[in-house]
Amino acid sequence: MITNPLDRRARLSIELALTAGSPDPRQDAAARALGMSGAEIDAARQGWSFDLRTSLALGLALAAENMRQDRRARALKAGISEAACREIEALVRQAGTGGPRHV
Domain membership flag for residue 90 = yes
Question: Given this model, what pLDDT does residue 95 score?
Answer: 85
Give yes or no for a contact between 88 and 11, defined as CB atoms under 8 angstroms apart: no
| Torsion angle defined by CA atoms of residues 4, 9, 10 and 14, in that order, rounded to the nearest 10 degrees | 140
Entry pTM: 0.83
Which letter does DSSP use for residue 99 in this model?
A: -
Dump pLDDT digits (tens) for 76-97. 999 999 999 999 999 999 887 5
**91 alpha-carbon distance from chain centroid:** 8
Give yes or no for a contact between 13 and 41, defined as CB atoms under 8 angstroms apart: no
Cβ neighbours of residue 84 closer than 8 Å, sequence gap 6 or more: 2, 4, 5, 6, 57, 75
Domain membership flag for residue 101 = no
| Torsion angle defined by CA atoms of residues 50, 53, 56 and 61, in that order, rounded to the nearest 10 degrees | -100
Residue 80 forms beta bridges with which residues?
A: 2
Domain membership flag for residue 103 = no
Domain membership flag for residue 32 = yes
Dump pLDDT digits (tens) for 13-30. 999 999 998 888 999 999
Q: Residue 52 sits in which domain range?
A: 8-96
Q: Give the number of domains in the chain.
A: 1
CA–CA gap between residue 97 and residue 99 (Å, rounded): 6
